[in-house]
Every structure is written in structure tokens, then in C-alpha cells.
Chain A
Amino acid sequence: MKRIGVGLATLACLFTALGATAFAASGVTPVSASDDAAIKLASQVCSSCHGPGGNSQSPTFPRLAGQQQAYVLAQIKAFKSGERNEQEAHDYMLGMTTLIDDATAESLARYFASQPPPKGISGDPAAVAAGKKIFEQGIPRQVVACATCHGAHAEGNGIFPRLADQHAAYIVRQLTVIQRNLRNSPVMHGIIKNLTPEEMNDVAAYLQSL
């Protein structure tokens, strides 16, 4: 009986030793303390929802890989201050961002901006075509062309986020909460206030396909 106990204790120690070896072999090379903290945070915490390197699987959580650095930083600050306050922001991000100091936030934004963006996911061709038209040309007398701010290829520009290859469900959700003023974004609200659910689905299908 004692042998079993000793054996189990030895195995438990082996687990720890193996894990420690793996940790030592991971080869993290921090550029600065905040970069090191950001890498640990991104790979150990953020990745649980936003996926490895910001390539999330679940459409509840946005893809952050290749996202505009200034936009990521602005959003972290908006979550932290409560300025961005839709339900998901409150439920998931408010608490997480209060753990992040300013230097780490900047490193995190740099980290996600530097990650290679994922490949798009093709959708219904008719929806993609309709969405492409809205994105590039807008809707006369109603909606300004999205490409005006978000870039010709939806690559984003500074505080205007990258939308290419984003989860369609996430885009529809954001358009909805902005339209209902649940997410505080006055400029976007003014632009999309008359967008119909069908038009949202179309433009989201197009952006996810990029």
C-alpha cells in the first residue's frame, strides 16, 4: 500500500518536473517587462477566448490577429473605463482589462497587431456579393461606404478597426448593439442607424470571407 502511495507521489513530482522543463524550453524572449507581461497575458489568458495569437474559434469573441494597434489600445481603455459598456463588454472584458496597466496595454495592442491575420471563411455568394456592394459603395442617401474609413480591403486604419476575416456573427452583433446605442459609438451609430438586419448579414458575410 505504501508503495502505491510513494509511486503516486513520485508520478506527481514527475508531472511537475516535466511541466517545469517545458516551461524552461518555451524560449520566451521578452523585449521589455511589459512585452513579457503582454505575451504571458495573451498566451495564457486572452487566448482562452480570443484563440491562439488572437485567432478565435468562437464567434462570440472577436478575432484580434492583425487588428489595428491603435484600435486595440483604444478598446482596452474603453473597456477599462466602462465607456464601452454593452453586455459582453461588461460580462467578459471590464474585469479583464482592469488587470492591465497602460504599458502592458500598449504591448498587448502591438502584440495582436503583429500577429498574422487568419484566412477568411467563404459564405453564401449572393450575401457576399450584396455585402461587398454595401461595403464598397454604401447605400445611396443612407449609408456611407464602409471602405471610406475601414480601408478598401477592410484592413482598418488607426482607430478604425480591421474588419476583414472577422466572425460574421460578431460583426452583426456589434452593428446591432451600436445601432441600439448599447455600445457607445456615436459616429458609427449615425452611419448605420438605418441598416436592416439583412444588410448587416450581407456585409458581415462579405467581411468574414476576406
Chain B
Amino acid sequence: MSIKSIGIGWLLVCIGVFGWFGLINPARAIPAFARQTGQACVACHVSFPELTPYGRMFKLSGYTIGTRQALPLALMAQFGVTHVRNNRDDQGQKIVPKTDKPVLSAASVFAGGKINDNIGGWIQWTYNNLAGNGDVGHSGIDNTDLRVVGRSENTDNTDMRWLYGLTVNNNPTVQDVWNSTPAFGFPFTTPPNGIGAAAATMLDGQLGQQVAGVGGYMYWNRTVYFELSGYQTADGFFAPLRAGTDTQTPGGVHRLSGVDPYWRLAWNREWGANSLMLGTYGGHFRVYPDNTLPFTDTDRFTDIAVDAQFQHISQDHTYTFQYTHIHENQDYRASYPATLAGVPIGVGPTPVNAHDTLITDKLKGTYYFDRKYGTTLALVRTHGTADAGLYAPGSVGGSVNGRPDTEGYILELDYLPQQNLRLMLQYYGYSKFNGSRRNYDGSGRPASDNNTLFANIWLVY
């Protein structure tokens, strides 16, 4: 598609969106939590969804600050254009649909906020307009976090001593308040029709909307945070937490056996306009090789991560940094013996090693001027053990050398003309994809062919 035709379509979308905005009173153009507190988005967000120190306290307080709303709803929509550097495979076939033209990629409805002084939460329901290879849309539950909280003051009544609570959620780390953890880590939104790498750790988005987590947390003197949660496949009573997720297709989701632990420990300090967090988190997950056969032995995934966040938030200049390192031990005690016996469990892929490791590093720096004009650079790297069973050669999605290694950067430019509207330009540059730089898939495709440009309008209301 020509640049000119892209431009005309994009222009029409922009005109439509801004026309709509012209009909909205800007002072009222705020989502559910802002309506509840009467505060602007910037009180809680550096830029949504990255949280400020006050935003973290609001979340840990169970979203209970403010006045309960009669209609606690909010909306979100994203309109964007994705351009993949080479969107044709070695046979000349298009790889991902609906590139190079503006599309409504997703829209969400949120029900969120305070129920009483001790209970609050939010539920997100998302319509994915590009599901089913872009032909048929699909809707289902998205991130959800429900809380019961309590608090106490210190002896001189000047500050909170303890903030504690229970969380029920459907995505490990969605409950976390620091944006160095995966669920609310950068990139905050991704191209809906870009090309994804082959490997990611369990905690890096592999369990979202499939599991139910119940956990307890404590925050002491705004300094030490500790949480212990148990995650299980969202069945029975918890089934609404995976509503709309296809759990019946073999290989579609990760099915956990029993209740698996997730833990989080963080140290936080605030001084001047700065805040610093140093932390660690992790989990141990027992996963059935085939999600439709929940009676076989299980493979074991142990994720141990460290993370850090620094924020400087002032009137004009705001800069923030996040880093996380996730180390995953993969113990294929169910898949590997079955593979050796020549009868792999399920549809695979099945490993050729008994044990693998997978490591992900993410480092991101953001600068905002006047909380309106922002730029972010992120360096991302995933690497691990070569396993030709898990990462076999295959056009575009495969690996010629059986390695999961993917490296690259993400550059993002943001403009927020209003606090609830983000106009963004995002670029993914890959120096390595599924194991190598050149001919990574065995079909002659270089990693840079997957470089992706994403222009997006992201609106919350």
C-alpha cells in the first residue's frame, strides 16, 4: 500500500477522533478512578499506565480513595497503523493481516473503583478487533484486580504504618504497583498485528487471563512490600476470570496443576522528587504439557526475577527508569521422557532437552516534558538454551539454530494533548530474532525484516 493512501486513511481517522473530542467537555474526559477521586490522570500516572508514588498508594489502598460512583465505568480504545518492514514470507504470502492501514485494534470497558472504604477493584473486558487472523473480532475478559484492604496509622498519627490486603487477579504481576514487572511494564501497548518472538518466560505474559491468583500483601512504612499469592487455572468458581479465553484448543493456553506460588518483595524509598524501588519476584508453576489433558505429569517452570525502578517527577521534567531480569528454569520432567519414548504429550512443541533456561532482560528509560511530550527507549533481550524441539526451523516463526534468542530496542514518541489521550509512534528494531541476525528462520529471513512501526491513538474515557 502506498504511503499516500496510508496517509489519507490515517488522516480520516484523526479527523474523526478529534471531531468526537470536540463534542466532549475536556474537564469531564476522565476515566472511572479519576471520576471517583476528582483528580486528574497525572495525580496517579506519569503517563498512563505508569504509576506515580501516589498512584501506587491508590492501587495498594484497593482503589478505595474517593467517593463511590453510581456508574463506575470507563472506556478505552486504540486506533492504529502497523507497518512491518517485510510482511511477506519466503513464499510471498502476507504474514500478519491488516498492516499499513488504520484499524480499530481493541476497545475495552472497565468497571472499576470503590465499593466501600475497604473493598475495591477493576475488571476489564476487551474486544479484540484483530483476533482470528483479522477476520472476526473476539471479546473476553482482560486484566482484573479485586482487593480487600486495611490500614493503620503510626503511633504519632502522621503516616500509615501498615497497609495490607488481599488481591484476587487473573495475571501474575498485574497486581504489582511498580512498572518494572511484566504486566504493566513497557511497552504499555504493542502493535496488534506485529510479529512475535518464539519465547517468553511464564511471568512475562504467558498466564494472563488463564489463571486465578489469590494473595495477601503488606506494605510497611511505605518502605517494605511483601506479597505471597497462589495461582491456579481459573476453573469453577474462578472461571469468570478467564471468560472468553479458549481453553479447549490444544496448545492454546498454559494449564496449571493445583495452586502454584508467586512471591514479591520490594524495598521502596522516596526523597525529594525522586523514588527508588529495588525488588525481587518470582513463581513456581506446574504446567501440563497439553492443556486439554490435565491428568498427565507436569513440567515445572521456576521464575526468579530482580527488578528496579527510579522515578524523578517534577513540574516540568520527569524521567523514569525501569529494569527487570527474569531467569526461568524449565524442567521438562513430563514432556522430555514422553518425547524420548516417541509418544510426545499433546500437540507440542516438545523439548529435546530435560532442562532448559530462558532469561529475559528489559531496561527502559522515559523522559517527559510537562507530562505532555515524552520519549522512551527500551532495550530488550531474551536468550536461553538451544532446544531444537521447542524452537524448530520454520518460515518467519521458527529458528534455524534452535535458539530462543531475541534482541532489540523499542523507541517510542508520545504526545498527550489531553491527559487521557495518547498519540504515539513506536518502533521495534531487532538485531536478533529467534536465535540469529541473518536467516534466523532457515528460510532466508533476517531479523530486521520484523522491524515494526506502529502509529497509535490511545484514548481512555
Q: Which positions in A face B, CB cutoff 8 Å?
A: 1-2, 4-5, 8-9, 11-16, 18-20, 22-28, 39-40, 42-45, 47-49, 51-54, 57-60, 90-92, 94-96, 98-99, 115, 169, 173
B243 CB within 8 Å of chain A:
no
Complex Cα–Cα for A22 and B150 (A): 10
Interface size of B in residues (CB-CB distance below 8 Å):
53
B178 to chain A, nearest CB (A): 16
Complex Cα–Cα for A51 and B57 (A): 12
Q: Which of B34, B37, B57 contacts A96 (CB 8 A)?
A: B37
B10 to chain A, nearest CB (A): 31
Does the CB pair B66–A95 fall under 8 Å?
yes
Q: A9-B230, A95-B39, A99-B66 are in contact. List 13 more A-B contacts (CB 8 A).
A: A8-B229, A8-B230, A12-B228, A15-B164, A15-B216, A15-B228, A19-B165, A26-B155, A26-B161, A43-B160, A49-B53, A53-B159, A173-B315
Does the CB pair B38–A28 fall under 8 Å?
no
Complex Cα–Cα for A10 and B283 (A): 18
Does the CB pair B152–A60 fall under 8 Å?
no
Does the CB pair A16–B164 fall under 8 Å?
yes
Residues of B close to A5: CB separation below 8 A: 230, 232, 258-259
B237 to chain A, nearest CB (A): 13
Complex Cα–Cα for A59 and B216 (A): 33
| Number of A-B residue pairs at CB separation under 8 A | 146
Complex Cα–Cα for A14 and B155 (A): 22
Complex Cα–Cα for A133 and B320 (A): 38
**Chain A to chain B contacts (Cβ below 8 Å), 9 pairs:** A48-B53, A52-B154, A52-B158, A59-B314, A60-B314, A92-B39, A92-B43, A96-B37, A99-B38
Residues 267-288 of B contacting A (Cβ, < 8 Å): 270-273, 286
Does the CB pair A60–B273 fall under 8 Å?
yes
Does the CB pair A12–B166 fall under 8 Å?
yes
Does the CB pair B40–A92 fall under 8 Å?
yes
Q: Which residue of A lies closest to B65 (CB)?
A: A45
Complex Cα–Cα for A16 and B217 (A): 9
Q: Which of A4, A44, A60 contacts B151 (CB 8 A)?
A: A44
> Contacts A11-B228, A59-B273, A95-B66 known; A169 to B38 CB distance under 8 Å?
no
B61 CB within 8 Å of chain A:
yes
Residues of A close to B258: CB separation below 8 A: 1-2, 4-5
Residues of A close to B37: CB separation below 8 A: 95-96
B369 CB within 8 Å of chain A:
no
Residues of A close to B66: CB separation below 8 A: 95, 99
Does the CB pair B159–A43 fall under 8 Å?
yes
> Contacts A1-B258, A49-B54, A95-B39 known; A23 to B162 CB distance under 8 Å?
yes
Residues of A close to B431: CB separation below 8 A: none
Complex Cα–Cα for A169 and B313 (A): 13
Q: Which of B39, B155, B218 contacts A18 (CB 8 A)?
A: B218
Q: Which positions in B face A, CB cutoff 8 Å?
A: 34, 37-40, 42-43, 53-54, 57-58, 61, 65-67, 150-162, 164-166, 214-218, 228-230, 232, 257-261, 270-273, 286, 313-315
Residues of B close to A25: CB separation below 8 A: 152
Complex Cα–Cα for A42 and B153 (A): 10
Does the CB pair B162–A19 fall under 8 Å?
yes
Complex Cα–Cα for A53 and B340 (A): 66
A113 to chain B, nearest CB (A): 14
A95 to chain B, nearest CB (A): 2
Does the CB pair A16–B150 fall under 8 Å?
yes
Does the CB pair A27–B155 fall under 8 Å?
yes
A151 to chain B, nearest CB (A): 25
Complex Cα–Cα for A11 and B262 (A): 13
Complex Cα–Cα for A160 and B305 (A): 52
Of B150, B159, B257, the most chain A CB neighbours within 10 A belong to: B159
> Contacts A1-B258, A19-B164, A59-B272 known; A115 to B155 CB distance under 8 Å?
no
Q: Which residue of B lies closest to A20 (CB)?
A: B150
A201 to chain B, nearest CB (A): 14
B418 to chain A, nearest CB (A): 12
Q: Which of A47, A58, A60, A99 contacts B67 (CB 8 A)?
A: A99
Complex Cα–Cα for A22 and B215 (A): 19
Complex Cα–Cα for A5 and B313 (A): 41
Does the CB pair B214–A12 fall under 8 Å?
yes
Residues of B close to A13: CB separation below 8 A: 216
Does the CB pair B42–A39 fall under 8 Å?
no
Does the CB pair B152–A57 fall under 8 Å?
no
> Contacts A48-B57, A58-B270 known; A96 to B39 CB distance under 8 Å?
yes
Residues of B close to A11: CB separation below 8 A: 216, 228
Does the CB pair B39–A91 fall under 8 Å?
yes
Residues of A close to B260: CB separation below 8 A: 4
Complex Cα–Cα for A15 and B165 (A): 8
Residues of A close to B164: CB separation below 8 A: 15-16, 18-19, 22
Complex Cα–Cα for A48 and B66 (A): 14
Does the CB pair B216–A22 fall under 8 Å?
no
Complex Cα–Cα for A11 and B217 (A): 10
Q: Which residue of A lies closest to B149 (CB)?
A: A19
Residues of B close to A99: CB separation below 8 A: 38, 66-67
Q: Which residue of A lies closest to B34 (CB)?
A: A95
Residues of A close to B34: CB separation below 8 A: 95
Q: Which of A18, A27, A57 contacts B271 (CB 8 A)?
A: A57
> Contacts A4-B260, A27-B155 known; A22 to B160 CB distance under 8 Å?
no
Residues of B close to A96: CB separation below 8 A: 37-39
Q: Which of A14, A19, A94 contacts B150 (CB 8 A)?
A: A19
Complex Cα–Cα for A24 and B42 (A): 34
Complex Cα–Cα for A132 and B34 (A): 41
B291 to chain A, nearest CB (A): 17
Complex Cα–Cα for A142 and B34 (A): 43
Residues of A close to B257: CB separation below 8 A: 1
Does the CB pair B228–A43 fall under 8 Å?
no
